[in-house]
């Protein structure tokens, strides 16, 4: 999103760009953008909402714009992963089409990675392979190096990371891990002083997803089928308790060899299956 903003506002490398970003991992909203200390958010929001500026996308998310009404009513810019919540019907139709064309996203990524690793076997390779652009996660390597640099060299620079906020954000539980704008240095990440509250307009969705995250984490630790069921039923992307049960059973059995914690659960499921 930072690269997108940099491009659409036609900034140069000497411009100081600061972004007020908040939410959960891969579920963030931008509520302000400052260039050299001056907010240019209204210009950015208007451009994206009207379609004059194309919204930020990542390679593993389809280029489907949010509606002007949604953006203007939020008065924030959602990251493209939020298409799965605000455009569920459209995203499901697209994903089903992609599945019948080339398989599930994970299968597509496996094929791309095999091609990449075959290329990487060549010690003479000195250009970035085009296949890398199909993988998703553009600029992650740059971001990772910048984070390491900021911590090791105590740069005190702005980054967008997941942290336990320890009560810095006033209107969410103090023990939550969140994704937000932070200042990074030798002592780690400090939440940005400008962001002390999450916008009330999206708190409901944030609480819902955090509830799912916590339930899914508890299920992973317990190895209990009912805990998995609870997590899936709390997800806004699962629309039926019957679907949740089928999903839980099929996913656990399909991934048996990676789920030693679920050994007793898997044995019970196999018993029922037979």
Token output for 109:
């990524």
DSSP labels, 142-197: HHHHHHHHHHHTT--EEEEEEEE-TT-STTS-TT-EEEEEEEEETTEEEE-TT--S
In sequence order, which ranges of the chain are alpha helices (DSSP H)? 2-8, 41-50, 68-74, 83-86, 88-102, 105-120, 140-152, 203-222, 225-234, 241-254, 263-273
CA distance 214 to 25: 13
Phi, psi at residue 38, to the nearest 5°?
-115, 130
Q: Is 264 exposed, middle or buried (CB count within 10 Å of its CB: 0-12, 13-18, 19+)?
A: exposed
CA 167 to chain centre: 22
Distance CA 246, CA 267 (A): 16
Catalytic residue positions, numbered: 81
Integer Cα distance of 15 and 6 in angstroms: 9
Give the total residue count for the chain. 274
Give the phi and the psi of residue 129 in degrees, each rounded to 5: -65, 145
26 annotated to a ligand binding site: yes
Binding-site positions: 26
Binding-site positions for Mn(2+): 26
């Amino acid at each position: 999103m930072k690269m997108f903003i940099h491009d659409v506002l036609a900034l140069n490398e000497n411009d100081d760009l600061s972004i007020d970003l908040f939410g959960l991992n891969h579920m963030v909203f931008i509520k302000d953008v400052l260039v050299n200390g001056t907010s240019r958010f209204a210009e950015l929001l208007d451009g994206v909402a009207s379609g004059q500026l194309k919204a930020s996308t990542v390679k593993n998310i389809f280029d489907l714009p949010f509606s002007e009404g949604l953006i203007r009513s939020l008065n924030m810019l959602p990251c493209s992963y939020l298409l799965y919540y605000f455009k569920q019907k459209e995203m499901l139709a697209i994903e089903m089409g992609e599945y019948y064309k080339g398989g599930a996203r994970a299968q597509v990524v496996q094929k791309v990675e095999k091609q990449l690793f075959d290329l990487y076997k060549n010690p003479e390779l000195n250009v970035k392979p085009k296949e890398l652009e199909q993988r998703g996660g553009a600029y992650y390597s740059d971001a990772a190096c910048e984070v390491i640099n900021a911590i090791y060299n105590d740069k005190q620079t702005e980054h967008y990371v997941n942290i336990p906020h320890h009560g810095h954000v006033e209107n969410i539980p103090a023990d939550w891990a969140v994704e937000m704008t932070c200042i990074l240095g030798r002592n780690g990440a400090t939440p940005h002083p400008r962001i002390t509250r999450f916008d009330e307009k999206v708190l409901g969705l944030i609480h819902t997803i955090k509830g799912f995250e916590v339930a899914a984490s508890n299920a992973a630790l317990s190895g209990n089928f009912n805990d998995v069921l609870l997590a899936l039923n709390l997800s806004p992307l699962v629309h039926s308790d019957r679907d949740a049960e089928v999903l839980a059973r099929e996913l656990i059995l399909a991934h048996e060899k990676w789920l030693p914690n679920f050994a007793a659960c898997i044995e019970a499921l196999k018993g029922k299956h037979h």
